[in-house]
Structure 1
């Protein structure tokens, strides 16, 4: 049995024999950082491997209520809250031109007893805040280098780093992104797909206040979404459209792009100004048949990739991180090796199901917008009208969207 050894969280891990840990998390994005913090804060000797910072691409994340609860438990939320805007209401506008176009639908978080469905914060600030906490968390050792390979032993896995060091862990967590080397090396089966679209992202300043309302226009080329940012007169943009059009828009100067955004938004927020960097995100998806292998568990985009629709991607990754913490603690309580198949079986089953259900919903919405078949338009319109007209159904869907009740991780309840 591997004996965990804790090293200083603020000093580089020493060269020489492999340092030993219960869990090694590979990947220093938001999901990996959250998983490492959740484990270390409760006494699990944890290593965090990775050095890549987030790009400044004008992207934000709408952290749903369960994710905010998780970050609050980790002690991160108080620092993020002043830089986040509440999403108190969601407005959906059908702009497809369909014969079955329903009237705009509005959903209020107050109806399900919440101040907000979630809180919108810039990705860069989220990652930077998580990283700062990781540097000062006892029991969490940072290896600021890329992983170079994973070898399996009977009682532990040996992780090699590109700088020549190595470490040993009973469980390795792959949070190393959509092109995960750990997933590839483990031979885990994946399914990938793409859409004939791209998403333009940026930050906007606008004349009229957003009043904490997130607005999503459903168009024939994809959703066009304006999400509130702090201050009342700033929002983040996710404009999903045909790939050639997205590339053309991304090449416009700030004045021309702001005018295009204002036109697409029907001037509902008045005049616009580009107020941050831009990003162009490919519209693709990835799923893993089973996010576990011997001594390996995948979380975040290593396990599932979503197009930027419906605020599902990172929130799902944070649920992975919280659920992984539960799996490790269940193994501890049963005096089991956290990397053993029996310890990972439940995690693999529940996380795989959650990802498949969310992925199917996002895929169905996006594909329904791209087709002009009248029966599809009718079903989409009737569904939105039913949500508007039937309060119990509306409340059930809102609650499920914020946090699934079945199998919700402990730190998100």
Structure 2
């Protein structure tokens, strides 16, 4: 059972304390605890219901399976066997649609699409049943890094201490701010409307991304064959107008934008409106602190990279802490986290540049940019080795892949 509201004197010092009870924080805490690291997870378990789903790529599915959570999710997820890109920008250099098949790289699916709420609940269920993991279901109220341990204050309860603190507390991370970690942030003139759709025709396990002048419009399969999740990136004012439509009017607008490819549609879930912004950090580590998930990087919901990158953070941190424990080193020291910092900074930088570059290329009306984007899609369609290399890198980077994702 969860351990909550204990006085400070009853709380032992942990090896690691993860702050933030979203998917990335839950995964990090589970990975550490299941590796035998005494761990605390600090954060309230708030409900999730914003119409968002996540396409869990193959490496992430392997990680969740290693954490014991995938068995509770498999029947709630739909395979992404084919990825289709349709240029709908009206450009003079518009290429034909491009289709990527998972079978080309030896996979039955690139990944699996699942509702955020189901993912978080499956991870919570694992967390409640995992030895070495203490749940402190209160918000963090302060963080200080001492010589031998980090101290985390909690609301309406006593502090806890850990040799390593893990900030998984989101884009506005309190721990990151209190550590003084330098950040760079930016925004886009767009917002993403998210919801769940029911439709007349089967999706056939094909995820379709329309590239428009306002950003990507993406339909991603859900279980049952006739349900999909929607991520509609549009000009901010337009996204707000779409979000205010009735269910019937919004379904009609989606059906038109999708070129009627899935037939008649209806809204079949809650809606979300996500601001399009980005954030990066100079380094994902500080004194006795490691950053994971959106505490370390934020970028638009494009290309299924956000949470998958956060899960790689969690898996890589587990490897670093296990290696430190095996060698008798302090897991909160800079030396123990140096390899983690280098690998995560490289991975996050490459993914951020790719997503940012694609989004800005769609917004651009310059003919040379259109030509380069069109030529790139044509090359991916025509050149098998290039296409397969890009697909493999998108699913899981080959360099420094975490142990539980291989």
Q: TM-score, normalised by structure 2?
A: 0.99
Please say if residues 13 and 141 of structure 1, whose CA atoms lie closer than 8 Å, have aligned partners that are also in contact.
no
Q: Deviations over 1:181-214 (max 9, x none)?
A: 0000001000001100000000000000000000
Alpha-carbon distance, 1:158 to partner: 1.4
**Corresponding residue for 2:239?**
246
**Which of 23, 34, 40 does residue 41 from structure 1 map onto?**
34
Q: Deviations over 1:326-358 (max 9, x none)?
A: 000111122100001100111111101110100
- 156-165 or 266-275, which moves further after superposition? 156-165
1:10 is the counterpart of 2:9: no
Q: Deviations over 1:9-29 (max 9, x none)?
A: 533263142421000000000
**Corresponding residue for 2:84?**
91
Q: Deviations over 1:257-315 (max 9, x none)?
A: 00000000000000000000000000000000101000000000000011110101000
2:13 match: secondary structure? strand
Please say if residues 220 and 228 of structure 2, whose CA atoms lie closer than 8 Å, have aligned partners that are also in contact.
yes
CA distance in 2, matches of 1:56, 1:27: 17
**Which of 336, 349, 360 does residue 356 from structure 1 map onto?**
349
CA distance in 2, matches of 1:223, 1:96: 10
Please say if residues 64 and 118 of structure 1, whose CA atoms lie closer than 8 Å, have aligned partners that are also in contact.
yes
Alpha-carbon distance, 1:47 to partner: 0.2
**Which of 201, 212, 220 does residue 208 from structure 1 map onto?**
201
Is the alpha carbon distance of 1:54 and 1:348 closer, same or farther for their aligned partners in structure 2, counting shifts above 3 Å?
farther
Alpha-carbon distance, 1:157 to partner: 1.2
CA distance in 2, matches of 1:60, 1:150: 32
**Which of 132, 141, 145 does residue 138 from structure 2 map onto?**
145
**Corresponding residue for 1:163?**
156
Task: State the Cα RMSD in Å.
Answer: 0.9
- Aligned ranges for residues 84-233 of structure 1 at < 5 Å? 84-233=77-226
**Corresponding residue for 1:6?**
none
**Which of 33, 50, 57 does residue 57 from structure 1 map onto?**
50
**Corresponding residue for 2:371?**
378
2:230 match: secondary structure? strand
CA distance in 1, matches of 2:294, 2:27: 14
1:188 match: secondary structure? coil
1:328 match: secondary structure? helix
Structure 1: 5+ residue stretches without partners:
1-8
Please say if residues 19 and 166 of structure 1, whose CA atoms lie closer than 8 Å, have aligned partners that are also in contact.
no
CA distance in 2, matches of 1:43, 1:332: 10
Alpha-carbon distance, 1:54 to partner: 4.4
Please say if residues 47 and 141 of structure 1, whose CA atoms lie closer than 8 Å, have aligned partners that are also in contact.
yes
1:289 is the counterpart of 2:285: no
2:365 match: secondary structure? coil
Alpha-carbon distance, 1:367 to partner: 0.3
**Corresponding residue for 1:406?**
399
Please say if residues 29 and 54 of structure 1, whose CA atoms lie closer than 8 Å, have aligned partners that are also in contact.
no
- 77-86 or 156-165, which moves further after superposition? 156-165
Please say if residues 194 and 232 of structure 2, whose CA atoms lie closer than 8 Å, have aligned partners that are also in contact.
yes
Q: TM-score, normalised by structure 1?
A: 0.97
CA distance in 2, matches of 1:12, 1:178: 26
1:390 is the counterpart of 2:360: no
Q: Deviations over 1:134-183 (max 9, x none)?
A: 01101100000011111222211111111131111000000000000000
